[in-house]
A and B are shown apart, each in its own frame.
Chain A
Amino acid sequence: MNILKGEIKNLSVKDSLSLVYVDVEGITLSAIVIDTPQTAAYLTPGSKIQLIFKETEVIIGKGKENHISLQNKLPGTIGFIEKGDLLSRLVVDTEAGKITSIITTNAVNQLGLETGSEVTAMIKTNEIMLSE
């Protein structure tokens, strides 16, 4: 489980959904939740909040320029790799903190990922949970 600490910058609310923009160490990440300031009091700019997402939801792109729809992009370098038969676990050092990702070992091999590789860790907006 990845946990990042941040502060809500702003949010767009439409019916029962809110798109929440959170500042984490100067980087803006977004999360969409089925809550509004009426149903969850913490949804207000300035609130200190945690972003929670599973390792298995973290996508790894090689390099820094990734033309892709994902909004949450954290550039960094691979600090650690543990390869299993099917799955591998990478820890990426980013400005927002250490991000753990679990991807297939095939993907690690195809991309030629190793310790020190420059990568971008990406998380879909709908995979991030918020917690006070």
Chain B
Amino acid sequence: MIEVSLHKKLMSANGEMKLNTGFKLEKGEFVTLYGKSGAGKTSVLRMLAGLLLPDEGRIAMNGTLWLDTNNGINLPPQKRNIGFVFQDYALFPNMTVKENLLFALGKKDKSVVDELIELVELGNLENRKPQTLSGGQQQRVALARALVQRPQLLMLDEPLSALDTEMRISLQDYILRLHREYELTTILVSHDVSEILKMSDRMLILEEGNIVKDGKPDKILLSKDVSGKFQFSGEVIGIQKQDFIFIISILIGKDLVKVVADEDEVKKLQIGDKVLVASKAFNPIIRKLP
């Protein structure tokens, strides 16, 4: 279990902001930090990692103090037993995939490197240099590298936002596999509703440095205020006018659906909007796929 309490004055785009957060994470929990940019998400991760010092704070990992500003305790990042993955992969360009992992390992037992290479399926790429790999492959290397020290806490700061949808979905599966295999406690920063619903057990919503919501993602994100039982969240990717009706194309997960809408509904919509799509459970038909 990790117990966190962090307080710091931060400078944000809107001026000074006071970050005041406190939460407890159980071992094995997968938690998403959600909030607008500037809400303090990355600052929380950086303070957990030991890259940013709070004005006042305490972090205890399974009873071990990583930070206690009242008693002058502040372990450096390398002693905190964490893995960190950012949006940019930050791999060493002059080293192969395997060398990148071995470098992060230091003098420890090398078997974990082979195990990780197998888990993220990089076996046939292990002797390649990062710049010859796709974005998704490089992010898999970064993920494996974050885990060679066998951390207890894995932190992912929008790791998939630079990837296309298909690559994202595949990376999400790798992350979940590693999270379970190594019994990690994982904190993800993400803005993608379908990603949050798929990956996390719990979400914390940050607003101007304060946690304003803490709960199960489906309870928080999925609207229960319409009785329709056929509900999905998606993103508007097309709006096409036909006579006086509109055909709205919506991406739900990796499936494209189309919904007919009236002018009044469309007035409020624009491409890129996140929307709830709801129908009654009486309408859809089900066919078994071959």
A interface, CB within 8 angstroms of B:
1, 31-35, 40, 52, 54-56, 82, 84-87, 89, 100, 102, 126-132
- Give the interface SS of chain B, mostly helix, strand, loop or mixed: loop
Cβ-based interface call for B1 (8 A): no
Contacts A87-B243, A87-B245, A89-B244; A129 near B262 (Cβ below 8 A): no
State the Cβ distance, B289 to closest chain A Cβ, in Å: 24
Render B256-279 as a binary contact track against A, CB cut-off 8 A, 1 for contact: 000011101100000000000010
Provide the residues of chain A in CB contact with B280, threshold 8 Å.
126-129
Cβ-based interface call for B11 (8 A): no
Provide the residues of chain A in CB contact with B243, threshold 8 Å.
84-87
Q: Is the CB of A35 within 8 A of B227?
A: yes
Q: Is the CB of A130 within 8 A of B282?
A: no
Q: Is the CB of B278 within 8 A of A102?
A: no
Per CB-CB distance, the 5 closest pairs between chain A and chain B, nearest first, are A84-B243, A126-B282, A130-B227, A33-B227, A129-B228
Provide the residues of chain B in CB contact with A54, threshold 8 Å.
260, 262
Contacts A86-B243, A87-B243, A89-B244; A1 near B227 (Cβ below 8 A): no
Provide the residues of chain B in CB contact with A131, threshold 8 Å.
225-227
Q: Is the CB of B227 within 8 A of A40?
A: yes
Could you pull out 23 A-B pairs where Cβ atoms are within 8 angstroms? A33-B227, A34-B229, A35-B227, A40-B227, A84-B243, A86-B243, A87-B245, A89-B245, A89-B262, A100-B262, A102-B245, A102-B262, A126-B282, A127-B282, A127-B283, A129-B227, A129-B228, A129-B278, A129-B280, A130-B227, A131-B225, A131-B226, A131-B227
Render B224-259 as a binary contact track against A, CB cut-off 8 A, 1 for contact: 011111000000000000011100000000000000
Cβ-based interface call for B281 (8 A): yes
Q: Is the CB of A82 within 8 A of B244?
A: yes
Q: Is the CB of B229 within 8 A of A132?
A: no
CB-nearest residue of chain B to A85: B243
State the Cβ distance, A125 to closest chain B Cβ, in Å: 9
Provide the residues of chain B in CB contact with A85, threshold 8 Å.
243
Provide the residues of chain A in CB contact with B245, threshold 8 Å.
87, 89, 102
Provide the residues of chain B in CB contact with A127, threshold 8 Å.
280, 282-283
Q: Is the CB of A55 within 8 A of B262?
A: yes
- Cα A35 to Cα B282 in complex, Å, equals 13
State the Cβ distance, A5 to closest chain B Cβ, in Å: 14
Provide the residues of chain A in CB contact with B260, threshold 8 Å.
54, 56
Q: Is the CB of A1 within 8 A of B226?
A: no
CB-nearest residue of chain B to A53: B280
State the Cβ distance, A18 to closest chain B Cβ, in Å: 9
Q: Is the CB of A1 within 8 A of B225?
A: no
